[in-house]
Structure 1
Amino acid sequence: MALTEKEIQAAQPRSKAYKLYDGNGLLLRIKPNGSKIWEFKYRAFKDGKKVEKMLSLGVWGEVSLKEARAKSAEAKKVVAESKDPGALKKQQKILARVNSDNSFEAVARDWHKLNIAKWTPRHAVKLLRRLELHIFPWIGTKPVADITALEVVDLLRRLEKDEKTETTHKLLQDCRAVFQHAFLHQKIQFNPLSDMRGLLKPHLTTNHPTLSANQIPDFLIRLEAVQTTQLNRIAVKLLMHTFVRQGELRKAKWASVDWKQAEWRIPPENMKMKQEHVVPLSTQALGILSDLQKVSGDSLYLFPSQNRQKNPFMSENTINKVIHEMGYKGQLVGHGFRAMASTILNENGFAPDVIERQLAHAPRNKVRAAYNRAQYLEERRKLMQWWSDYLERAWRKGAA
């Protein structure tokens, strides 16, 4: 006689497990602990002989009587096809686990974890966040082998409609690297994004706002007059004289300054290219550092943070904030000093290779990079002294 929900609910546990039969192979096993398990009884081959087997269909309370009957009917169809529903269920579990391990998100996170040591912490966070926002919600759970190039392109073109061309190109680069990681680890047979040239709108880069040569004198006079701390004022001055990246300046430690050799050696972990970079220090730069030593000489960093609980060194917004307060908002950012120096140095006849090396735009090839360091260091000393002399003349012109 078929079971009813009322009968199932009334069934009480006993000292030993017992069964209530619904018919067509479906039964309910009541255990001594009170749990009620749906099972389907069938016969299937094992070692050449037909034996009785049980297939678990779930726990009553989570699986209703109606749902258990539907599952039982599906299992019965499998048996009718001379297949073992229990073995099939195990295969599906294995496949689901494999697909989960090989999902795009799982592969992407594995790639990210493998490469994180090569990146700056900020870059690593931003890269993963891009994928979490724009890729994982749509194809993150799909097996990486099942994803086509068209699916990825369709996602990226949605962003193009919002004029996020820079983001789309970065995501394409990220996804291509993830698929290449999957290919190298034999999860896919080929990289579907290996050649996607021309499919996305080109991203038109905009240069960082900077100053022209005739604007420098007025800028230097305003820098002396702006209401800010001595530490912040010196940070802007030193950035102008050395034209390093702001992150390289903010993270600088006194231990990296070689007063005897008149050099500032920026360690690889603070560099974009992860290679040590030497900044020859002009007479003026050494003077600026001497003034700075009176302010922060007892600190580990040249520019310690005013809020050391968040960061041990100066905030990334500090220099640009000073520049904005000087009246240059929208006209100049700290990174613009690099373009300013490059333009003026090129116009004044310095060798482009020497300028590029001092900007730390060196080739990634380690042998060539080492060669350039040795070849250009003396030229770079002259270049850096000329640049500081140029800025000093500009200041005198503005003060006259």
Structure 2
Amino acid sequence: MALTVKEIENASLKDRAWKLWDERGLYLLISKAGSRTWQFKYTYLGKEKKMSLGAYPEVSLKAARAKRDEARAQLSEGKDPSQERQIKKLTAKVEASNTFGAIAREYLDKCAADGLAEVTLAKSEWLLAQLEPRLGRMPVREITVPMLLTVLQEVEASGRLETARRLRSFAGRVIKHAVLTGRAEHNPAPMLQRVLKTPKVRHHPAIIDPEGLGALLKAIDAYEGFPSTNAALRPSPHLFQRPGEIRAMQWSEIDLERGRWTIPASRMKMREPHVVPLSRQATAIIRSMTPISGGSAFVFPAFHSMHKPLSENTINQALRRMGYAGIMIAHGFRSTASSLLNESGRFSPDIIEHALAHRDPNAIRAIYNRTSYWNARVDMMQAWSDMLDVLKSGRLVTALAV
């Protein structure tokens, strides 16, 4: 006989657990303490089994019957309802760990373990933060081309074309990781490469004429700022390196006697250590920081703490104060050196590229070319510093005739 809600409500407690039966294997188990739990009793492969369907009244009589009927339907298909429930739970757990956000975190952890530069990891974290609100909880295998395109076009609509391009690339790397680890079947990101709008190339502001460079060098010498800022400004034209690498320079990386600076792979964009020849001028500037750094591990310590390097934008702010806003930035010193050295024709483009720590686009040649052109780079760095001195003195040269 079918159970009624009235019977359930009027059921009394006993000195032991007891069952209030409905129909077709469904009953309500009432404990001594008064808790009421729906149970379904069934037989699978000749073995009597039971499974819980939830507590009353959270699961009503009607809902309990629906769950029982679903279990009976599974039995009719030759399936064990208890096993099916476990499979469903495990599937949900796997899906939760296979979201775009979860796999992206796993991918970034792998990148960190592989030695990806901290600055590159920070940029990747920022890209993930842009994608997480829309894709973070989405199972990665369910991300389609239209879905990813919609997210990227929203970024494009805000005018951030370069950001949209970088987000597509980052999403592609994350989903490729999912494909390679068996948690996705296809990667929609590469298909969108030609769909997104191409951003206009923005070059770093840089001075590439000798007269303008000479004037800048004079302005740097005359600039009166914090000692670390002054000291970091002065070698920047001589070193060819990225601003982040210069400002984080540590004494442990410097060999003043041999005139070399070894930048560890962790700080290099290409994740490879890079040795920089120091000209006599660069060596003298760095050596002058010995008393100023006050025992700090950093050659150019921050204003507020000797335990940190100069902040990221310090050099750019100094250049703006000197009147070079929109004309020159810290990264522009690399473009200046590259442009004038290539124009001189005195040094091979390969040597210049090595000095800039650019990776050879020819992978095979990069494997076999391990010379790093050290002697030629030493000569070039000294010739470049000598040319800077000539320009600063007011004498113009059109090539490295020094």
TM-score, with normalisation over the residues of structure 1?
0.85
Say which structure is richer in helix.
1
Gap change, CA 1:145 and 1:5, over 3 Å in 2: farther
Gap change, CA 1:370 and 1:267, over 3 Å in 2: farther
3-state DSSP of counterpart to 1:295: coil
How does 1:1-400 map onto structure 2 within 5 Å?
2-4=3-5, 8=9, 14-23=14-23, 25-41=25-41, 43-46=42-45, 49=46, 51-60=47-56, 62-79=58-75, 83-117=79-113, 118-134=115-131, 136-213=132-209, 214-296=211-293, 298-308=295-305, 312-349=308-345, 350-363=347-360, 368-369=365-366, 372=369, 374=371, 376-397=373-394
Gap change, CA 1:69 and 1:281, over 3 Å in 2: same
Q: Deviations over 1:259-283 (max 9, x none)?
A: 2222222222221112222221112
Is the 8 Å Cα contact of residues 273 and 364 (structure 1) preserved in structure 2? no
* Cα RMSD, aligned residues only: 3.0
Q: Using the alignment, how far apart are the partners of 2:53 and 2:177 within structure 1?
A: 38
3-state DSSP of counterpart to 1:293: coil
Q: Using the alignment, how far apart are the partners of 2:128 and 2:327 within structure 1?
A: 33
Q: Using the alignment, how far apart are the partners of 2:163 and 2:328 within structure 1?
A: 24
- Residue 191 (structure 1) shift: 3.9
Match for 1:92: what amino acid?
K
Is the 8 Å Cα contact of residues 44 and 84 (structure 1) preserved in structure 2? no
Gap change, CA 1:37 and 1:316, over 3 Å in 2: same
Residue identity (%): 36
Q: Deviations over 1:149-197 (max 9, x none)?
A: 3332232222222222222222222222223222322334444445544
Q: Using the alignment, how far apart are the partners of 1:137 and 1:283 within structure 2?
A: 52
Q: Using the alignment, how far apart are the partners of 2:224 and 2:331 within structure 1?
A: 21
TM-score, with normalisation over the residues of structure 2?
0.85
Q: Using the alignment, how far apart are the partners of 1:272 and 1:314 within structure 2?
A: 19
- Residue 23 (structure 1) shift: 4.8
Match for 1:248: what amino acid?
E
Is the 8 Å Cα contact of residues 145 and 189 (structure 2) preserved in structure 1? yes
3-state DSSP of counterpart to 1:127: helix
3-state DSSP of counterpart to 2:275: strand
Gaps (5+ residues) in structure 1?
Answer: none
Gaps (5+ residues) in structure 2?
Answer: 396-402
Gap change, CA 1:6 and 1:340, over 3 Å in 2: farther
Q: Using the alignment, how far apart are the partners of 1:305 and 1:366 within structure 2?
A: 39
Q: Which has the larger displacement, 99-108 or 260-269?
A: 99-108
Gap change, CA 1:269 and 1:5, over 3 Å in 2: farther
Is the 8 Å Cα contact of residues 305 and 312 (structure 1) preserved in structure 2? yes
Is the 8 Å Cα contact of residues 99 and 142 (structure 1) preserved in structure 2? no
Q: Using the alignment, how far apart are the partners of 2:64 and 2:78 within structure 1?
A: 21
